[in-house]
Amino acid sequence: MRKPTQFTYQPVEIDLIADHKGRVAICVDDEGRMDVSGRRVNRLTKGAVARLIESPKFEAMKQGQVFSLNLPAGMAADAVDVVRLSRRAKIDDARAAGASLAKLRGNADLMLVAGNAKYAAQIAFGLAMRDYSFVDHKTASETAKGAVTVVCGKPDEVAASAAPLMAVAEGAFMTRDLINEPANILTTTEFANRLVEMENIGLKVQVLDEEELATLGMGALLCVGQGSDAPSKVVVMEWNGGNSGDAPLALVGKGVVFDTGGISIKPAAGMEDMTMDMGGAGVVAGTMRTLALRGAKANVVGLVGLVENMPSGNAVRPGDVVTSMKGDTVEVINTDAEGRLVLCDVMWYAQERFKPVGMIDLATLTGAIVVGLGHENAGVFSNNDPLCNAFLRAASAEGEGAWRMPLGQAYDDLLKSRIADMKNIGGRAGGSITAAQFLKRFVKDDCPWIHLDIAGVASVKSETTLAPTGATGWGVMALNRLVSDMLEA
């Protein structure tokens, strides 16, 4: 998988700045003040930085914005990138500044002269997150990214602060790689193999095959994949970094590696985007990687249901009735409402086996949530206010959009079936809510639970602050923060 940019941290050595080839970035506060290294760059450029600060261009710059002075006189650098960043700047501004530097540098070597900048580690994190591209299937070789050196007053402290952030970046990169990967490469077997590889960073990984799933009674999950040649699987990843005996937090992800809609087949236009229908499983995988890499002092279990939804002579049909692991029967009205059938069995298994302190499921579940919230926010549904509020705070702190949606009996009533315990859809109106209500039926009364519908945020058609077009890695930062706040505080 793709690894984030490697950073080196070193103390300020004024003489090295003049000789650096590539790009040099400095920070200037709102009042136009520079530290000693910034003043050195200003002298080298014969006052060019000061002239920028005194110009209307600097006045118009927003927090975290960067202005480039190209081919500066007196320096070997190709450009000096001037970052406007208040000493009271928000973390989001520092990360945005780093992301801007990543875009400007391309593949060039970069020296970030952070001096005593408060958020040097956050600038580095933003740079690392935006320094991503997915080019695995391009025949032209990719030019290697240049080195990044952070020059700062206390390099050891900045490096220590940056280390857990880089673990988050690596987890997000894994999520992006998985979501961007085409379905002929990322089969259910390949997905499972990539998760098993995380045993080398300390996770305990178990793969359940179709025979084991049938023995467990996962008829809902198995019906989704029965039309495909790809075998259905459930992968369990355990991170036991907390106290022995403490119940874990359970993260459950929908992993439909490709979704044709099955017999209720989707329109051809846009179906190629359904390679991202395993986004929930991708976020769970990336989060588990982050927790292991940073050595989280918490117990967390990640479970993903991996299937492919294909039409064939053996595919589940509209009108079929299947039996879930819980024992409830489901009338399959629409085979394109398959994600909830996968999740319900994995969620029940998670509760039966691990008795979790709480459970969060993630899925690119409904187009309805995109209609309601667009691509700015994931839909958040929950049966527990404290857990939900803790997640919303974590998501807000990390700049990942999330909005709480309602649940209610009237929506649940729409799932009534004439011939089974429930239908798998409740009609067009309130589609994301009835999907959540379906899942809620598989949550035990004593289990705090959140359902995250990430259909609008997992992969997007235009770049975001910290990610290029395509997979965003949404959720890794927020879930990592939630684990830290809730289980490690």
**Distance in angstroms (rounded) separating the CA atoms of residues 281 and 268:** 24
Can you read off the two tokens belonging to residue 373?
């919230």
pTM for this prediction = 0.96
Look at the alpha carbons of 462, 466, 467, 472 in this order and tell me if their dihedral is positive or negative. Answer: negative
pLDDT at 117 over 80: no
Residue 75 burial (CB count, 10 A): 20
Q: Of residues 51, 90, 266, 393, which has the active-site annotation? A: 266
Average pLDDT in the chain: 96
Residue 13 burial (CB count, 10 A): 9
User: pLDDT tens across 30-68, in order?
Assistant: 999 998 889 999 999 999 999 999 999 999 999 999 999
Look at the alpha carbons of 282, 287, 289, 290 in this order and tell me if their dihedral is positive or negative. Answer: positive
Question: In this structure, are residues 158 and 118 in contact, taking their beta carbons and an 8 Å threshold?
Answer: no
User: pLDDT tens across 118-156, in order?
Assistant: 899 999 999 999 999 999 999 887 778 899 999 998 999
Domains, the chain, with CATH or none: 7-153 (3.40.220.10), 169-487 (3.40.630.10)
Please report the pLDDT score of residue 12 as a whole number.
84
Task: Indicate the pLDDT class of residue 115, thresholds 50, 70 and 90.
Answer: confident
Please say if 340 is a catalytic residue: yes
**Distance in angstroms (rounded) separating the CA atoms of residues 388 and 260:** 32
pLDDT at 474 over 80: yes
pLDDT at 232 over 90: yes
Query: Tell me, what amino acid is at 362?
Result: L
Question: What would the mean pLDDT of 295-312 be, rounded to a whole number?
Answer: 98
Q: Of residues 40, 130, 145, 340, which has the active-site annotation? A: 340
Question: What would the mean pLDDT of 79-84 be, rounded to a whole number?
Answer: 96
Longest dimension (CA), the chain: 82
Instruction: For the chain, state the CA radius of gyration.
Output: 24
Provide, rounded to the nearest whole percent, the portion of the chain with pLDDT above 70.
100
User: pLDDT tens across 416-440, in order?
Assistant: 999 999 999 999 999 999 999 999 9
Task: Indicate the pLDDT class of residue 411, thresholds 50, 70 and 90.
Answer: very high
Please report the pLDDT score of residue 420 as a whole number.
98
Can you read off the two tokens belonging to residue 116?
């005593």
Question: In this structure, are residues 101 and 110 in contact, taking their beta carbons and an 8 Å threshold?
Answer: yes
Geometric angle at alpha carbon 237, from 232 and 241, rounded to 5°: 175
The answer to which of 134-148, 203-217, 227-241 has the lowest mean pLDDT is 134-148
